[in-house]
Chain A
């Protein structure tokens, strides 16, 4: 039953498993949807969709599949009310065939028929068998039916198609750009457990306890050990100022998320402008003096740090390749690209996050450096999905 709907959902990117589908079938067998499309909508959504981020995909697939089944809920009184926008009858075509097309729920149609017989005494504007307006019926309202049953203009509350078509959950789609909380969630995945970390000894070490107790002539002596803790260390390098100002909010959210992620063993943050040169700044204002030498960082921050570079990678080509360049009070003789390569060489776990989600609108002037850097690093846009991928990438050596 409905298996085409199952494949449609999958085709629209919803990861519905066979198990869940069978659960839905079981639910239908138990009559949980009754014979109402609204119930079916909620039932299917509750069973098949497991994140509000996917509700929108579900809504649009649902609309697509059931588009021919406009509003067929029980609406006894509305049937009378609905005739509020009667219409002229345009040139009607081939009604019989259309009616045949109606594939869904004969029960419903019969029920409607009964109602029609009971209630309809008047007003059937367009024609071809009642419950009118517009015409050519398989029941009413605006008409010229390419398949059936929409009776009544708008809304009784919560009708499935209407709920779906309102698409309340559009904002939740996860290809949207992120909020702090989502950032944090992503960063929580950045962890590796180890017992070799300073922490209070709170776990009972059974083996040692037994040994110690034996040594102690059988009188009990308990030994505790350190629990497993996250050993991930993070080095965050952020582009600041200039073209990055457009992304200030986004970047400060990212920064907050990283800073609040208390589960890292260590976190170091430095700033740069456009590209990394001889100096790294300790403060996003990039004042000369508030800095450390890039070489110092490369020497002192060990290779097991996981490095996240945040920047739009968009600059004048000379800023990336130029040999002599003056940047926020620091002179540099080595081209920026060389510094970037040094980082790449030293740190096995390195990703580049780019707040530019789409390059499309930028001029080619900017894309040159963007492409050059993208070809050197694993670059990810700052969206939920991409950040997840970036974090996964950080967890495995390249």
Chain B
């Protein structure tokens, strides 16, 4: 592996020191990087940023509640083959034609080193991660139908994200490098916002930040996150709201808060705060 494989953040993704450290440790040790954190802290974005920074292709495997480990390796389309055999279609003898590689298989068989993102692994069944232990450890799997072993030509960089909806099995965790993304503090958040808005008025930004963190500290159900604050700033800019008004009036609060109860809490606190 070339020594230049280090991640230093990218032009449109602001990574904290800690996160970059974790990413580089994972790359150096060739172990999967497991990222956990509040929704909206940019877990998925990280993989895209790493891929861009290292200039490597990104393969995304989106996990759903019905996803099985097998789907990532390969799918053997029996039904298609049976149908084809009915009509004596060509190449029915060739099992290979009916074996389609999944995302993991794709990553293994790539000639270049790629980045494999296993997104929201906790969505799947509880045993799912365990079913992938061998494959992620040895970076290979066997297809009995074709008697073929798919082995990684270049060990992919594996990034796994989790929303902590389910506990992941210990055996799986032991093989990962773990990083927990904390919600960004004001400084980091300002940096993040600046990446998205080139020339944002500092006064507006100050007001937004103050209001935003004030809201997050209130006792609300669904705390707004990074993507919401970015939408909010956009709304404020389009609406041409003067900076002084933001803190007192909290315009477009609906962009930040998605629940009625939360809006009420903010409204109530705002009045108390004002008088």
Q: Are B126 and A189 in contact (CB under 8 A)?
A: yes
* Stretch from A15-23, A106-114, A315-323 forming part of the interface with B: A15-23
The yes or no answer to A3 lying at the interface (CB within 8 A) is no
Tell me which residues from 22 to 49 in chain A have a Cβ below 8 Å from any Cβ of chain B: 23, 26-27, 30, 32, 39, 42-43, 45-47, 49
A204: B residues at CB distance < 8 A: 78-79
Q: Which residue of chain B lies nearest to A184 when distances are taken between CB atoms in the complex?
A: B165
Q: Give Cα A219–Cα B83 distance, bound, in whole angstroms.
A: 9
B271 to chain A, nearest CB (A): 24
In the bound complex, residues from chain A placing their C-beta under 8 Å from that of B176 are 50
Complex contact B83–A49 (CB within 8 A):
no
From the candidates A42, A185, A220, name the one contacting B166 in the complex (CB within 8 A).
A185
- The contact string, 1 if C-beta is below 8 Å from chain B, for chain A 37-69, is 001001101110111100100000000000000
Q: Does B36 contact A (CB under 8 A)?
A: yes
**B28:A158 contact, CB within 8 angstroms:** no
Interchain CB contact (< 8 A) of A46 among B83, B174, B178: B178
Chain A nearest CB, measured from B87 CB (Å): 10
Per-residue CB contact flags for chain B residues 25-65 toward chain A (1 = under 8 Å, else 0) read 11011010010100000000000000000000000000000
Identity of the chain B residue whose Cβ is nearest the Cβ of A49 in the assembled complex: B178
Q: A185-B165, A185-B167 in contact; A20/B174 too (CB < 8 A)? A: yes
Q: Contact: A50 with B182, CB < 8 Å? A: no
CB within 8 Å for A46 and B25 given contacts A52-B180, A219-B86, A222-B79: yes
Asked whether A188 is an interface residue with its Cβ less than 8 Å from the other chain, the reply is: yes
Q: Is A196 among interface residues, defined by CB-CB distance under 8 A?
A: no
Q: What does the 1/0 interface line of A4-23 toward B look like (CB < 8 Å)?
A: 00000000000101011001
Let me know if A168 is at the binding interface, CB within 8 A: yes
Cα-based distance from A220 to B87 in the complex (angstroms): 10
Find out whether the CB atom of B25 lies under 8 angstroms from the CB atom of A47: yes
Is A290 located at the chain interface by the 8 A CB criterion?
no
Chain A residues whose C-beta falls within 8 Å of the C-beta of B82 in the assembled complex: 220, 222
A181 interface residue (CB < 8 Å to B): yes
B263 interface hit (Cβ, 8 Å): no
Considering the chains assembled together, what is the distance between the CA atoms of A84 and B40 in angstroms? 42
Once the chains are docked, how many angstroms separate the CA of A42 from the CA of B20? 11
From known contacts A46-B21, A52-B36, infer whether A23 and B126 are also in contact, taking CB-CB under 8 Å.
no
Is there an interface contact between B180 and A55, defined as CB atoms closer than 8 Å? yes
Instruction: Confirm or deny: B205 has a beta carbon within 8 angstroms of a beta carbon on chain A.
Output: no
Q: Which of B126-184 contact A (CB under 8 A)?
A: 126, 164-168, 170, 173-174, 176-180, 182
A15 touching B178 in the complex, CB below 8 Å, given contacts A181-B165, A219-B86, A220-B83: no
Assembled-state Cα–Cα distance A43/B20 (Å): 11
Beta-carbon nearest neighbor of B36 in chain A: A52
A51 vs B31: C-alpha distance when bound (angstroms):
17
**Bound: A52/B37 CA distance, A:** 9
Number of interface residues of B (CB under 8 A): 32
**Could you tell me if A27 and B25 are in contact, using CB atoms closer than 8 angstroms?**
yes
B1-41 interface code vs A (CB 8 A; 1 in, 0 out): 00000000000000001100110111011010010100000
A32–B28 CB distance below 8 A:
yes
Please report the C-alpha to C-alpha distance between residue A20 and residue B166 in the assembled complex, in whole angstroms.
Answer: 22
Closest to B34 in A: A50
Residues on B with C-beta less than 8 A from A17 are: 174
Flag if A42 contacts B22 (CB, 8 Å): yes
CA A206 – CA B81 in complex, angstroms?
Answer: 13
Which residues of A are found within 8 Å of B166, using beta-carbon distances? Answer: 185, 188
User: Are A46's CB and B179's CB within 8 A?
Assistant: yes
Interface string of A167-205 (1 = CB under 8 A from B): 011000000000001001100110000000000000010
Whether B25 contacts A32 by the Cβ 8 Å rule is yes
> How many Å lie between the Cα of A77 and that of B135 in the bound state?
49
Q: Are B79 and A50 in contact (CB under 8 A)?
A: no
* Complex-state Cα separation, A26 to B26, whole angstroms: 12
Contact between B28 and A30, CB atoms less than 8 A apart: yes
Q: Which one of A15, A27, A42, A181 lies within 8 Å of B18 (CB-CB)?
A: A42
**Would you call A26 and B29 a contact (CB within 8 A)?**
yes
Interchain CA distance A49-B22 in the complex, whole Å: 12
Cβ B17 vs Cβ A46 within 8 A = no
- Is there an interface contact between A46 and B79, defined as CB atoms closer than 8 Å? no
Q: Report how far A185 CA is from B21 CA in the complex, Å.
A: 30
A185 to B162 alpha-carbon distance, docked (Å): 13
Which single member of B22, B83, B174 contacts A50 (CB below 8 Å)?
B174
Whole-angstrom CA separation of A75 from B275 in the bound complex:
48
Q: Cβ of A49: which chain B residues have Cβ within 8 Å of it?
A: 178
Q: Which of A50, A55, A181 has the most CB of B within 10 A?
A: A50
Q: Which residue of A lies closest to B86 (CB)?
A: A220
Fill in one digit per residue for A219-254: 1 if any B CB lies within 8 Å of its CB, else 0.
110100000000000000000000000000000000
B37 smallest CB distance to A (angstroms): 8
User: Which residues on the B side are within 8 Å of A27 (C-beta)?
Assistant: 25, 28-29
Given contacts A42-B22, A188-B166, A204-B78, contact A50 B178 (CB under 8 A): yes
Closest chain-B Cβ to A9's Cβ sits at a distance in Å of 14
For this complex, 27 residue pairs linking A to B, each with C-beta atoms less than 8 Å apart, are: A19-B174, A20-B174, A23-B31, A27-B25, A27-B29, A30-B28, A42-B22, A46-B21, A46-B22, A46-B25, A46-B26, A46-B177, A46-B178, A47-B177, A49-B178, A50-B170, A50-B173, A50-B176, A51-B173, A52-B180, A55-B180, A169-B180, A181-B165, A185-B166, A188-B165, A204-B79, A220-B83
Q: Which 7 pairs from chain A and chain B are nearest by CB?
A: A50-B173, A52-B180, A50-B178, A42-B21, A46-B22, A46-B177, A220-B86
Q: A20-B174, A52-B180 are in contact. List 11 more A-B contacts (CB 8 A).
A: A26-B29, A39-B21, A42-B18, A42-B21, A43-B21, A43-B25, A46-B25, A50-B34, A181-B165, A185-B166, A219-B86
